[in-house]
Amino acid sequence: MSSEYMPLYRRFGILPKNEELYALSFTHSSYNGMAGTRHQDYERLEFLGDAVIGMVVSELCYIYHPDMEQGKLSVLKSQFIRTSSEAAYCKKLGLNEYIRVGASFAKDASTNESLLEDVFEAFVGAVYLDQGLGVCYHLVRNIFEEDIKNASVDMTTNPKSYLQECMQADKKESVTYRIVEEYGAGNAKTFVAAVYFEGQEIGRGSGKNKKAAETEAARDALEKMSLPEK
């Protein structure tokens, strides 16, 4: 058993069956160039781990926030599976200590949030394949449970950011904005923005400049998502 990962195994109570999976979960594709390998990196494990995390986080949001409508549950879920949140969990759990990158990797591996997010998801994928769903489920639940139990949704601070995170919680697609109308002259001009997801308008708002109009459009979309279905 590799001494390199022994502290990690102890931390999570893991008796590994296939240590190669864990090595892969920490290996960025840039490392292949140095090692002379191909496709020996975390990308496939990341795909798997992302699905497991999404399932467990969705369940915890549902269990601990029974009064939330679907829209707010989606926003709450997005608060925990967004890049910055998963990167923070990666560092909190010490997974960043094991990351392997190639010399060509331009950014510092310890501060690149996208990389940290990927490694967190890939590690979960490795646990799933190596230990099975039951062990992996409890590991992920233990990571998120207290934070989700005590969480709340605040959609007013940055509506555009919250909307983007919410819509990307299940689908890796972005929302888009378009100015659909403007009226008035000079300093009295008003802009009307619409926000779209998958080609459908989901909100509309107005403001004294384009940014303010887009913010109100995002707020409108979030409010509509939070309303009970009739």
Catalytic residue, candidates 121, 130, 214, 216? 121
Active site residue 121: yes
Strands (E), the chain: 176-183, 190-197, 200-207
CB atoms within 10 A of CB 54: 17
Residue 185 is given by DSSP the state: -
Which is the catalytic residue, given 50, 86, 165, 214? 50
Say how far apart CA 113 and CA 108 lie, in whole Å.
10
The token duo for 34 is 């140095």
165: annotated active-site residue: no
| Helix ranges (DSSP H) in 39-132 | 43-64, 70-81, 83-92, 113-131
Tell me which residues are annotated as active site: 50, 121
